[in-house]
Amino acid sequence: MSVLRPLDKLPSLNTATILLVGTEDALLQQLVDSMLKEDCTSELKVHLAKSLPLPSSVNPPRIDLIVFVVNLHSKYSLQNTEESLHHVDASFFLGKVCFLATGAGRESHCSIHQHTVVKLVHTYQSPLLYCDLEVPCSWVPTSLSLLTWLAQGLSEWPGSQASAALTDG
């Protein structure tokens, strides 16, 4: 079973990498575009994956933050997240993982209870952010929150230059 490990690779200078894991491309793409617009100084790289394990597990990239995107309208999305979590090394959960739950605003479309996601997030001791990726005005605040978490996560690893560069932007 291939697993992502945070320390497999050395951090590169002035580079930070986010991995977004989620089933619906349309939602992820908006978020990615917004994040890249907000980040202008450093080299931010974003990997988009539908699920884990990554196909390129032979030579996995260094990942500084994993964001699991769960669409509350889709049981398939939750199931995909739960299965992908098994492929993440435990040490990632020390500040390098966060969850994004989208779609809570339209309660009639939700097929997943918020309680289910909260329970999942507690199990993995990671932060949870609610947003509505279908609404354009949420992209900027969501991407700023993610970039902040990324900076926090990076600053916990000594010798990382990237976090300083990110917070300058």
Chain residues that interact with other proteins, rule: CB under 8 A: 22-26, 29, 32, 36, 43-51, 54-56, 61, 74, 76-77
Task: Considering the complex, state which of residue 84 and residue 138 has its C-beta at the smaller distance from other proteins.
Answer: 84
Retrieve residue 3's tokens: 């697993």
Task: Considering the complex, state which of residue 110 and residue 127 has its C-beta at the smaller distance from other proteins.
Answer: 110
Length, in residues, of the chain: 169
CB of 122 to other proteins, least distance (A): 26
Task: Considering the complex, state which of residue 44 and residue 97 has its C-beta at the smaller distance from other proteins.
Answer: 44
CB of 158 to other proteins, least distance (A): 26
Task: Considering the complex, state which of residue 36 and residue 94 has its C-beta at the smaller distance from other proteins.
Answer: 36
CB of 43 to other proteins, least distance (A): 7
